[in-house]
Homo-oligomer: A and B are copies of this chain.
Amino acid sequence: MKVRIDIMLKNGVLDPQGKAISHALSTLGFAGVEDVRVGKSIIVTTSEPDAAKATEAAKAMAEKILANLVIEDFKITVL
């Protein structure tokens, strides 16, 4: 089973990487860019055949290691 964990900074948390990209895009002539946020997506392939159990495991991985819950939110999608 393949599961995707999307990790994004929470709203309100400053995203310097996003700001840098936004600035670069404007400088390079892309008009109308209002905001850019950057996140990670982690695709985990497990031997677990059950989608619900794989989601559960991915949630535990995100909470325990992959995401910093103080400043980040995560979302899990079964692929």
Point out residues on A near B: beta carbons under 8 Å.
6, 8, 18, 21, 24-25, 28, 30, 32-48, 57, 60-61, 64-66
Contact = CB atoms under 8 A, between A and B. Distances in A.
A19 B75 CA distance: 21
Nearest to A34: B45
Contacts of A40: 38-41
Nearest to A57: B30
Given A6-B41, A40-B39, A40-B40, A30 B66 contact: no
A46 B26 CA distance: 11
B42 A36 contact: yes
B36 A44 contact: yes
Contacts of A41: 6, 8, 38-41
